[in-house]
């Protein structure tokens, strides 16, 4: 949610930002908020003036009563009754205006960074940089689900009976590999100075609406029937929500945390659920990183965070690239975002394994997260980034470490988490 001062002082900038995101249907909201803001502030001004007049008249009543001028005092008392009705009327106008402003402001997208490329959708995303040499071996890389089955490591048929499409059982060495990657990701981030956390896996609606847009919420979140609780789609949701309503001392910033959680997503949309594989599923596990910092430090943290993910995947012998998200592919709360994509030697292309985002004060403003400074309280900047989301990360690992004899090589960094194993046969 942007600062309403932007609409008061430069609504054309807000409109231009909306146009760059190809959301012209939201343009009327800017003028509507502008007019509601004027109406609401006028109502507040009139109400404040009447309250001041009421206080002045009330003081006069006391004076008249002391002077035994009861008739005059009674007359002023009757005037004040009329003021009360009018004050209540102005309060209702102000309250209704503020309510409508908040609803509309929640839909108006955040102001993007000037460096964000302009484009209608993800086909216009821009490659930034490649890390590691993408390769295609002279032997066939099987489909990842088939690799798992070779090791008796995947059972989607049973999961279909227990839970439906989009769920899975991982078993044996494949399940161990999955857990080893998450444990390594945890320790990798702890070594970077991040504090480890395991958050709640369910959050209330006011937290959900604080960390994401309504469109994302409807498409992603599972609601617990009969309760004000949602299953998290990523631990970023509950980790940022942890600071809801807090005023943080400036000297305590930055706060850098890494968190593990299962994640639950509807995955509604054109992609659907891939029946055989593990690329798009309803349930997965994730190691996340979140940062709360001063606004002036936000971009430095953004660049450090995506580089950590690149470093993590390269330590597992997985070539990756970063892809700058264009304006049309940028979620409404985000200022700037890039995807980290892993190389698929089977498909001979890259696919997404993580996303790094800076959101300015959008989440902080919605959730009331501020820092206490010498010149008052200010909203913090929030960032989030995927360290590892698996089984998607597992897919990248299997394809890039699959050997000609059907075995899976274990890179040195992961061996301590696999009991010293150098290869899975």
Question: Residue 355 belongs to a domain with what CATH number?
Answer: 3.30.930.10
Q: Are strands 202-203 and 126-131 parallel, antiparallel or unpaired?
A: unpaired
Q: Residues 258, 347: one domain?
A: yes
**Within a 13 Å sphere around the CA of 176, how many CA atoms are in the beta-carbon half?**
16
Other CB atoms within 10 A of residue 347 CB: 12
The answer to whether residue 113 sits within a structural domain is no
Q: Residues 271, 137: one domain?
A: yes
Q: Residues 96, 198: one domain?
A: no
Q: Do 236 and 220 touch, CB atoms closer than 8 A?
A: no
SS3 at position 424: strand
For 327: left if phi > 0, alpha if psi spans -120 to 50, otherwise beta; the answer is: alpha
Q: Residues 188, 321: one domain?
A: yes
Q: How far apart are CA 303 and CA 309, in angstroms?
A: 11
Q: Which residue, of 105, 132, 151, is where some domain finishes?
A: 105
The answer to whether residue 31 sits within a structural domain is yes
What global pTM score does this model have?
0.89
Q: Do 203 and 230 touch, CB atoms closer than 8 A?
A: yes
Q: Which residue, of 70, 105, 140, is where some domain finishes?
A: 105
Q: What token pair was written down for 114? A: 């000037």
Give how many domains the chain has, as a whole number. 2
The answer to whether residue 280 sits within a structural domain is yes
SS3 at position 351: strand
Q: What token pair was written down for 182? A: 């998450």
Q: Which residue, of 72, 105, 138, is where some domain finishes?
A: 105
Q: Do 292 and 298 touch, CB atoms closer than 8 A?
A: no
Q: Residues 100, 131: one domain?
A: no
Q: How far apart are CA 378 and CA 247, in angstroms?
A: 9
Report angle CA 270, 271, 273 to the nearest 5 degrees: 125
SS3 at position 270: coil
Given the structure tokens 């992961």, which residue do they identify?
414
Q: What is the pLDDT of residue 269?
A: 46
The set of residues, in sequence order, having a beta carbon less than 8 Å from that of 355 and lying 6+ positions away, is 325, 337, 338, 339, 340, 385, 386
Q: Tell me how far apart the terminal alpha carbons of the chain are, to the nearest angstrom.
A: 52
Q: How far apart are CA 146 and CA 141, in angstroms?
A: 10
Q: What token pair was written down for 388? A: 């590892």
The answer to whether residue 111 sits within a structural domain is no
CATH number of the domain to which 39 belongs: 1.10.287.40
Q: How far apart are CA 401 and CA 303, in angstroms?
A: 28
- Please name every residue paired with 320 in a beta bridge, in sequence order, or none if there are none: 131, 342
The answer to whether residue 217 sits within a structural domain is yes
The answer to whether residue 48 sits within a structural domain is yes
The set of residues, in sequence order, having a beta carbon less than 8 Å from that of 70 and lying 6+ positions away, is 64
- Please name every residue paired with 350 in a beta bridge, in sequence order, or none if there are none: 343
Q: Residues 52, 161: one domain?
A: no
What DSSP character marks residue 168? Answer: -
Q: Residues 336, 261: one domain?
A: yes
Q: Residues 261, 333: one domain?
A: yes
Q: Residues 172, 100: one domain?
A: no
List the beta strands (DSSP E) in 89-139. Answer: 126-131
Q: What is the pLDDT of residue 404?
A: 96
How many residues are listed for the chain in this entry? 425
Residue 71's domain spans which residues?
Answer: 4-105
Q: How far apart are CA 215 and CA 267, in angstroms?
A: 13
The answer to whether residue 62 sits within a structural domain is yes
The answer to whether residue 192 sits within a structural domain is yes
What DSSP character marks residue 228? Answer: S
Would you write out the chain's pLDDT as a tens digit for each of its 425 residues?
A: 899 999 999 999 999 999 999 999 999 999 999 999 999 999 999 999 988 887 777 767 777 777 777 777 777 777 777 778 889 999 999 999 999 999 999 999 999 999 999 999 999 999 999 999 999 999 999 999 999 999 999 999 999 999 988 899 999 999 999 999 999 999 999 999 999 999 999 999 999 989 987 777 777 889 999 999 999 999 999 999 999 999 999 999 999 999 999 999 987 543 444 557 898 899 999 999 999 999 999 999 999 999 999 999 999 999 999 999 999 999 999 999 999 999 999 999 999 999 999 999 999 999 999 999 988 999 999 999 999 999 999 999 999 999 999 999 999 999 999 999 999 99
How distant is the alpha carbon of residue 36 from its chain centre?
A: 28
Q: Residues 64, 180: one domain?
A: no
Q: Residues 132, 99: one domain?
A: no
Q: Residues 94, 202: one domain?
A: no
């Amino acid at each position: 949610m942007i600062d309403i001062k932007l609409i008061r002082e430069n609504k054309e900038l807000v409109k231009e930002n909306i146009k760059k995101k190809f959301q012209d249907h939201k343009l009327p909201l800017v003028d509507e908020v502008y007019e509601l803001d004027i109406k609401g502030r006028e109502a507040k001004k009139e109400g404040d003036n009447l309250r001041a007049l009421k206080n002045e008249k009330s003081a006069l009543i006391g004076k008249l009563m002391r002077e035994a001028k009861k008739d005059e005092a009674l007359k002023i008392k009757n005037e004040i009754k009329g003021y009360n009705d009018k004050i209540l009327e102005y309060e209702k106008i102000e309250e209704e205006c503020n309510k409508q402003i908040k609803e509309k402001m929640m839909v108006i997208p955040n102001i993007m960074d000037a460096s964000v490329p302009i484009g209608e959708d993800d086909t216009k995303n821009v490659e930034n940089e490649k890390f590691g040499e993408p390769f295609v071996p002279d032997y066939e890389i099987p489909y990842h689900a088939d690799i798992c089955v070779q090791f008796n490591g995947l059972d989607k048929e049973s999961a279909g009976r227990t839970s439906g499409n989009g769920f899975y059982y991982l078993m044996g060495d494949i399940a161990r590999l999955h857990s080893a990657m998450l444990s390594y990701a945890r320790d990798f981030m702890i070594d970077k100075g991040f504090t480890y956390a395991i958050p709640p896996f369910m959050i209330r609606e006011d937290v959900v609406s604080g960390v994401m847009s309504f469109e994302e919420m409807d498409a992603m979140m599972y609601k617990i029937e009969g309760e004000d609780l949602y299953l998290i789609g990523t631990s970023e949701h509950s980790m940022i929500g942890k600071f809801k309503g807090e005023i943080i001392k400036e000297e305590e910033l930055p706060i850098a945390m890494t968190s593990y959680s299962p994640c639950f997503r509807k995955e509604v949309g054109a992609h659907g659920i891939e029946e055989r594989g593990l690329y798009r599923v309803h349930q997965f596990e994730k190691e996340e990183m979140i940062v709360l910092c001063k606004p002036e430090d936000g971009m430095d943290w953004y660049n450090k965070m995506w580089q950590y993910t690149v470093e993590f995947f390269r330590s597992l012998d997985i070539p990756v690239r970063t892809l700058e998200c264009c304006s049309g592919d940028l979620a409404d709360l985000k200022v700037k975002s890039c995807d980290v994509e892993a190389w698929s030697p089977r498909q001979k292309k890259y696919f997404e394994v993580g996303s790094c985002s800076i959101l300015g004060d959008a989440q902080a403003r919605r959730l009331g997260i501020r820092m206490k400074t010498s010149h008052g309280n200010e909203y913090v900047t929030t960032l989030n980034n995927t360290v590892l989301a698996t089984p998607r990360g597992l897919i990248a690992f299997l394809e890039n470490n699959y050997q000609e004899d059907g075995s899976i090589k274990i890179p040195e960094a992961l061996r301590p988490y696999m009991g010293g194993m150098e290869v899975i046969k």
